[in-house]
């Protein structure tokens, strides 16, 4: 059983290190392009949101126009639109 406990502890340490790296990558990302996708910030709560193309960071809620276009793309099986974050939102 000690081997199991040691492996679990090792996994927790590895997970913590990966989480730090993940956050560092997102914090250093330029977020210059985004896509519209579904984001869940809490179990049972999903919203159409802006997500960075490079790092998947949540960048805010989609506009009504972006939401409608995303829904249309999902219904029609079309490709996903990519937006520039420098473009008027």
pLDDT for position 76: 87
pLDDT of residue 41: 83
Q: Tell me 79's DSSP state.
A: P
The answer for 44, left when phi > 0, alpha when psi is -120 to 50, beta otherwise, is: left
pLDDT in tens, the chain (89 residues): 799 999 999 999 999 999 999 999 999 999 999 999 999 988 889 999 999 999 999 999 999 999 999 998 888 887 778 888 874 44
Entry pTM: 0.78
- Which residues touch 26 (CB under 8 Å, ≥6 apart)? 52, 55, 56, 57
At residue 88, the pLDDT reads 45
Q: Is 78 helix (H, G, I), strand (E, B) or coil?
A: coil
């Amino acid at each position: 059983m000690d081997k199991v406990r040691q492996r679990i502890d090792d996994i927790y340490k590895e997970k913590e290190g990966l989480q730090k790296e993940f956050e560092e990558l997102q914090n250093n990302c330029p977020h210059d392009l985004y896509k519209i996708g579904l984001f869940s910030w809490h179990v049972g709560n999903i919203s159409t949101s802006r997500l960075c193309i490079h790092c998947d960071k949540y960048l805010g809620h989609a506009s009504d126009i972006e939401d409608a276009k995303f829904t249309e793309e999902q219904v029609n099986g079309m490709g996903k639109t990519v937006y520039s974050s420098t473009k008027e939102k």
